Amino acid sequence: MITNLPPIADRAAYQAEVDRLRIREKAHTHEGDAIAAARRRLPMVEVDPGITLTGPAGPVTLLDAFEGRCQLIAYYFMWHPGHPASGQCEGCTFYTTQVGELSYLQSRDATFAVFAQGPYEESARYHEFMGWQMPWYSVQAPAVDQLLADRQAGMMYLICYVRDRDRVYETYWTTIRGVEAMDNSYALLDLTVFGRQEPWEDSPEGWPRGWWAEGGGSNLRSNGRPIAHWSRLEAGRSDDLSG
C-alpha cells in the first residue's frame, strides 16, 4: 500500500531539482563510457574453439556458436535438472526474457546465444515453453568446466568472446548484477518514483517495498513461479519439461 509520495512543487522548483540531478546523471554516464573504454582494452585469454556444445542438430563447437560472426555474447543459464518450468531459475528467466530483438547486435557482427547448464532436450523444451528465439545450446561437464575455468559452474554468467579466424578468445565476463546489462525492466523501474520496490533500495519511508528477495528470489516470482510464466500458461503451454 502506498503511504507516502514525494513533496509537491511548482514546475520551476521541480525543474531545478531535475537539473541538479542531471549533472550527476551525466557524470554517471561519462564514467560508464570510461569503464567501457577500459573494458575494450582488457587483455584476452585463448579458449579452445573445439569445446563441444549441444544444439538442435546435435554436437557443435564453440566456434560454430559464433554463426560466422566475429563476436559471441554467451549467457550461461543456471539449470535444475528434472524440475518442471516452475522450478527453473527465476533470475535467468528474467534476464533472458529481456533479450528479444537480436538484429542490432548482429549488425555489429555479434551473436547472442544462451548456454544452458543442463541437458539439451530438457532445457530446449523450456526455451520452447518461453517462446524465446535466440540460439540455445546445452553446455555441461566437462565443457562447462573448460569454459568457466576456475569459476563456479551452476551460476549465471555473461561472457564475451571474439574470434580471429579459427581461434577464439574470451575478452570479458561478469555475473550477479553485472548481467543486468541484458535487462531493460529494472532500468526503466529505476527511473520511476517507486523504483524496483525491493527492500535493499534507499527509498523514503512509506515507499512500497513488497518485492522481497527472500525465499529463493521471490522478487522475480509471483504465486510460486517466475513472473513471465503466467502469460505462457494462459496461452496453453505445458511446463512439463520431461518430454
- Sorting pLDDT into bands at 50, 70 and 90, what band is 1? low
> Per-residue pLDDT for 72 more than 90?
yes
pLDDT on residue 97: 94
Per-residue model confidence as pLDDT tens digits over 8-26: 999 999 999 999 999 999 9
- Sorting pLDDT into bands at 50, 70 and 90, what band is 219? confident
Residue whose entry in the numeric block shows the C-alpha cell 556444445: 53
Per-residue model confidence as pLDDT tens digits over 26-36: 999 999 999 99
- Sorting pLDDT into bands at 50, 70 and 90, what band is 130? very high
pTM: 0.90
Contact 182, 98 (CB under 8 A): yes
Contact 81, 125 (CB under 8 A): no
Q: At a CB cut-off of 8 Å and minimum separation 6, what does 67 contact?
A: 111, 135
Per-residue model confidence as pLDDT tens digits over 149-195: 999 999 999 999 999 999 999 999 999 999 999 999 999 999 999 99
Return the beta strands (E) in the chain as ranges: 45-47, 52-55, 58-61, 71-77, 110-116, 136-138, 157-164, 167-175, 221-222, 225-226
Amino acid at 168: V
Domains of the chain, start order: 45-182 (3.40.30.10)
CA atoms within 13 A of residue 73's CA, in its CB half-sphere: 17
